[in-house]
Amino acid sequence: MEPSETTHFGYQTVAADEKARKVAGVFDSVADKYDVMNDLMSLGVHRLWKRFAIRLAQLRPGERVLDLAGGTGDLTNRMRPLVGADGWVVLSDINASMLGEGRKRLLDEGAIGNVAYAQVDAEQLPFPDNTFDCITIGFGLRNVTDQLRALAAMLGALKPGGRIIILEFSRPLAPGLKPVYDLYSFKVLPLLGKLVVNDADSYRYLAESIRMHPDQETLLQMMQETGFERCQYFNLAGGIVAVHRGYKF
């Protein structure tokens, strides 16, 4: 992107080349309490969402998986037994603090042999084309500056027949859910952030970034425009979260 271009950081308009730095600041601030906050914010339901996403990935022994924006390693930890000793999962994140937390957690749990770690930018993946059988990105796409560029990079890194799994907050669809969800997002989340990590602003950004993220149909169209095929999505929690899946052929 040219430096003169702008994008959104939550509800703020910022220079496109500034967003990555601001997002990094958010995750540097919350990295050590990220898992605790996930449990508090979702009442633990995020674990069910992740389990559903991994089931859609249909992983098999021996496969190679890239877990983008993998943070503290929740998805990686669930996927590594599925690919087995002959496969491997690359836990990756653009943020060194988050990646460090994930590496520490996985090592504490004895995850060695079929896990690798890489600090990477989703828009500029440093892997050869046709490397991975599956790429997952859980609650990370909305933080990417150029989402179409990132989708294209993921498509290139996938093998023919490979699939992408995008787990992300989306648009509530259940009747009456939106006002309750908005109240929770803009009042309760910043308060939790203040109480648990002494950082209300980062969780206010979280709520705003969700509203600026493409809705279910728009993201589906973006995937199709990039070149993914057989694209579909599955709504969870009344549309608060959606899982998109697409294939490379």
Instruction: Give the pLDDT confidence score for residue 52 in this predicted structure.
Output: 98
Q: Which CATH class is domain 6-173+204-247?
A: alpha beta
CA pair distance 48, 29, nearest whole angstrom: 26
Instruction: Give the pLDDT confidence score for residue 193 in this predicted structure.
Output: 86
**DSSP of 182-240, one letter per residue?**
HHIIIIIHHHHHHHHHS-HHHHHHHHHHHHHS--HHHHHHHHHHHT-EEEEEEEEGGGT
Instruction: Give the pLDDT confidence score for residue 25 in this predicted structure.
Output: 80
Instruction: Give the pLDDT confidence score for residue 3 in this predicted structure.
Output: 44
Q: Evaluate whether 61 touches 83 at the Cβ level (below 8 Å).
A: yes
Using 70 as the pLDDT threshold, list the residues of the chain that sit under it: 1-4
* Residues β-bridged to residue 235: 242
CA pair distance 224, 43, nearest whole angstrom: 34
Instruction: Give the pLDDT confidence score for residue 203 in this predicted structure.
Output: 87
Instruction: Give the pLDDT confidence score for residue 12 in this predicted structure.
Output: 80
pTM of the full structure? 0.92
CA pair distance 200, 240, nearest whole angstrom: 21
Q: How many CA atoms lie within 13 A of 117 on its CB side?
A: 19
Domain residue ranges in the chain: 6-173+204-247
CA pair distance 159, 174, nearest whole angstrom: 37
